[in-house]
Structures are given as C-alpha cells and as structure tokens.
Chain A
Amino acid sequence: MADRPIRVLIAKPGLDGHDRGAKVVARALRDAGMEVIYTGIRQTPEMIAEAALQEDVDVVGLSILSGAHLDLFPRVVDLLRQKGLDDALLVCGGIIPDEDMPALRRMGFAGVFGPGTFTQDVAKFIREEVARKRGAAAQ
C-alpha cells in the first residue's frame, strides 16, 4: 500500500499575532510534498487538538513567540493524549530559550526548532521521524 502524503497541522497557540514564521514553515513543508493544514493565529489548545483529531494528522507543529510555551504546550499535549492521538509526532518552533528545551523534550516534543533553522532541516527531520513511526506501526 502506497504511503499517504505526510499530513501536518501547523498551529499557533496563544495570543501572539505574528505568523510569518509559521507560514514560511508551512510553505516549506508543502514544497517538501506534505499536506499542511494551517489554522492560523490565536488558537486555544482545545482548537488545536480538535483540528489534529479531525484532520487525522501525522504531525502537530506548534509555533509560539510569546513565551507562554511552558503554559500552553502541556495543555495541547494532554488534550492530544486524551483524544487518542499519542502517536502523532510533536514539533515546535519560535522563540524558545535553550533552558526550556529539556522540559519540552520531556513533554514529548521530538523536534524544537529555533531562529536560524533551515526549513529543509525541518522537512528532513519530519520525513525521517514519520517514516520511523510508520515503520514501527507496520510491524
């Protein structure tokens, strides 16, 4: 059975209103052959989890600039788990201090991409991780 295109939700939780970075990443993932569901700014954790559920995505990517990641991200992760989406790959990006990285990784974020990241690297990371998860699921 042919693999379906990788489906990615790109969402911005919280109140910061700048989504240039999220759009650049969304566009880059499109150009890497992925189906990107883009839901825009000012999303609540509930909205993000609901979209991930209905769209049956492989990847949830959160972008945040406001500094509220340690407050908002755990709520998103909890809701995803409650809805049975614990197999989705979690990645995030934006303005995230180095000292918060370990906490995010413990939360389940496999990839944390800060300023200066090459978009190709994000695409490559997602492609490899999803291939690994699909391989594991098929066994």
Chain B
Amino acid sequence: MNPESVQQLCAGNPRAVARAISAVERGGAAARAVIAAIFRYTGRAHVIGVTGAPGTGKSTLVNEIAKQYRRRGQRVGIVAVDPTSPFSGGAILGDRLRMQDLSGDPGVFIRSMATRGSLGGLAAATSDAVQVLDAAGFEIVLVETVGAGQSEVEIAANAHTTIVVEAPGMGDDIQAIKAGILEIADLLIVNKADHDEVSATVAALEMNLNLKPQAENDWRPPVLKTIALTGAGVADAVEWIGKHRAYLEAHRLLELRERARFRAELEMVVQRELITRLLRGVNGTKIETLVEQIAARELDVYAAAEVLVGGIQNGANPIFAATD
C-alpha cells in the first residue's frame, strides 16, 4: 500500500477505506500489505458484535444503535455479514436495506460482506475489515453476523462487547439453558418487544442467567427490551454498552481480551500458512506421492504426516519460501 493511500485511509476517505476492505477480502499478499500498513493505527475503536437468529431484527437494531452514537458525535463503521450460497458462490447482501436512515451521513461507513464459505457467523476477512475501519478513525465499529443458529460464536472473540438479539416466542426455557450463543452475550436484547410473549422470553433468559454461579466481580448480562423499528429501548441499550466498556476497563479485561484474540488469530494464520506450504511438499516429497503410499497401505496417515511435519524440524527446508 502506498503512503498516500494509507494517509487517505487514516483520514477516513471512503474510497480508500472501501478499496482496502476489498483488498483484505481478496486475501493473500494484497491483504497482508494493507494490514502491514495500517496495523499501527488500530486499537482505538470499540468493537460491538451483534448476533442472533435470522429475522430477529439485527440490522434494524444496528441502524438504531448507530444513530444513538451519531447523536453523541462518534463516527460509526458497520460491517454486515450475510451468507454466501454454498451452491452458486453468490450472495444477497441485504442488510443495508434496513440502514437507510444512516445514508448521507459522512460519519458512517457501511460495508456488506459475504461469508465466502466461512462458518462461525463471520467472513474470513471480517476482523481485517474491522481493523481497516478502526484505522480509518471510526470510534465505534458495529459487526453484524449472519443470522446465527446456536454455535456461530466467533463474534465473541472479535468484539469487545457482544450483543445477542432474541425475538419473543423463539423458544422455551430449555432453549435458554442450551449451550452456545446465549453464553457469549454481554448484553441480551429481546427485540420486537411489542409482540406477544415478550415477558416469557425475558423470564426464560433471566432464569438462565440466575442459574449461573456469579462471582462478585463477574459481569451479569442485562436482559433488555427494544423495539428497533421505533427505536424504543435503544438508548438504554447503548447506555449498557457503555457500562460494559467501563467494566472491561476497570478489570483490565480489554487487554486480556485483546491478547486472547491476537493469540487465536496468530494460531489461525500460522496453521493456514503452514498447511498451505506443507501441502505443496517438503524436500521434494509431494503430497500426491504420500497419498499413493497411504492408498497402497505402505504408510498410514500419521506416518505420512510425519514425513511432511518432520521435514520442518530437520531444518533447512524449502517450505518456508514465502507464498502469496
């Protein structure tokens, strides 16, 4: 990335930001160049994840939360993720449709992302896109996941504050005590609170929280009610995001969470790079040769893996040639 583009990006120039996000989405050398150029300018944004089942009102809620922050004078970046079709590779990215109130505001930048095959509720490049927005000076970055089922919990590792959005009538108290998405919530929001059954949903979520042993300094997620279509309850939710931020700061959890995230990212990148390079073959041993040997029952899978991985330990080996 040339210094001029970096300067434009850090000044929040939308064209520069948009192109940098395209580059990190593309991956490989293009992505690495962007991250290398901007990484030192990151670490200032408060990253808020918004997740929950399809149709619970995540996008509309993100729209309202963003408006609250704009009223407080803070610049807001939004990354909204929708699923890629496993059949065609295409996607309909429709989250912007619910965020039209924000258009025309230069203090808001919205980017839609397709998962492009990633599971876990985010796209592979979502965390890099968040870093681009962070470097571009957006103080608040909202990340909306795909409509999540029970185990799309990746957002928790990528956000400082995670909001799980429920809608009334989505399940009983057994649903509430299942493992998974409810466990990652820093805030629980029951949206569409003008619908029936809202108090039953709130009660089931509260009961579940009451069953969790609570140490003195633990954060207890509030269960909040909103009607995102009218904005009702959203100011209160934003107050609670602030309280959660203060809690993280008071207990030095921002630093801990950040280190945990960097560790996970580092592991992931190392795994991906090593696998890519190893599978290209070590010291002339090609993976196809190993597969043939396994098929001929000359080697088992573990022994074949040792041929590749052992090649690293024996030093001087060609796999560490940089790849794109």
CB-based contact A55/B25 at 8 Å: no
Instruction: Say yes or no: A35 contacts B90, CB within 8 Å.
Output: yes
Interface residue range, chain A = 20 to 34
Q: Choose among B18, B88, B90 the residue that contacts A53 (Cβ–Cβ < 8 A).
A: B18
CB distance from B283 to the nearest CB of A (A): 28
Query: What separation, in Å, do the CA atoms of A34 and B94 have in the docked complex?
Result: 14
Is A32 at the interface (CB under 8 A from chain B)? yes
| Contact flag A33-B89 (CB < 8 Å), given A47-B100, A47-B104, A84-B15 | yes
Is the C-beta of B44 less than 8 angstroms from some C-beta in chain A?
no
Within 41-94 of B, Cβ neighbours of A (below 8 Å) are at: 84-85, 87-94
| Bound-complex Cα distance A39 to B80 (A) | 13
Given A30-B85, A46-B104, decide whether A1 and B26 contact each other with a Cβ distance below 8 A.
yes
| Min C-beta distance of B150 to chain A, whole Å | 26
Determine whether the beta carbon of B85 is less than 8 Å from that of A54: no
Give Cα A26 to B94, complex, Å.
10
A30 touches B18 (CB 8 A): no
Whether the pair A4, B93 counts as a contact (CB closer than 8 A) is no
Tell me if A39 and B88 are in contact (CB < 8 A).
Answer: no
Within 8 Å of chain B (Cβ to Cβ): is A40? yes
Q: A47-B104, A50-B104 are in contact. Are A56 and B18 (CB under 8 A)?
A: yes
Chain A residues within 8 Å of B15, by CB = 53, 83-84
Question: How far, in Å, is A69 (CB) from chain B's closest CB?
Answer: 21
Chain B residues whose CB sits within 8 angstroms of the CB of A5 once the complex forms: 89-91, 114, 116
Nearest Cβ distance between residue B28 and chain A, in whole angstroms?
6
Inter-chain contacts of B14 with A (CB < 8 A): 50, 53-54, 83
Are A4 and B92 in contact, with the CB atoms below 8 A? no
Contact with B along A69-98 (1 / 0, CB 8 A): 000000000000001100000000000000
Asked if A30 meets B88 with Cβ closer than 8 Å, knowing A1-B324, A39-B96, A40-B97, the reply is yes
Task: Answer yes or no: A38 CB below 8 A from chain B CBs.
Answer: yes
- Name A's interface SS: mixed
**Known: A30-B92, A34-B90. Contact between A4 and B85, CB under 8 A?**
no
**How far is it, in angstroms, between the C-alpha of A38 and the C-alpha of B88 when the chains are bound?**
18
Bitwise interface map of A from 1 to 44 toward B, beta carbon under 8 Å scored 1, else 0: 11011000000000000000000001101111111111110000
A55:B104 contact, CB within 8 angstroms = no
Question: Does A37 contact B93, Cβ atoms closer than 8 Å?
Answer: yes
Candidates A31, A38, A46, A56; contact of B93 at CB < 8 Å:
A38
Complex contact B91–A55 (CB within 8 A): no
Given contacts A4-B22, A50-B103, A56-B19, contact A35 B91 (CB under 8 A): yes
B208 at interface by CB-CB < 8 Å: no
How far is the CB of A77 from the nearest CB of chain B, in Å? 17
Choose among B29, B90, B111, B324 the residue that contacts A30 (Cβ–Cβ < 8 A).
B90
10 A-B pairs closest in CB distance = A30-B90, A56-B18, A33-B89, A40-B97, A47-B103, A56-B22, A33-B90, A37-B93, A35-B91, A33-B88
Q: 5 A–B contact pairs at CB < 8 A?
A: A5-B89, A5-B90, A36-B91, A54-B109, A56-B19
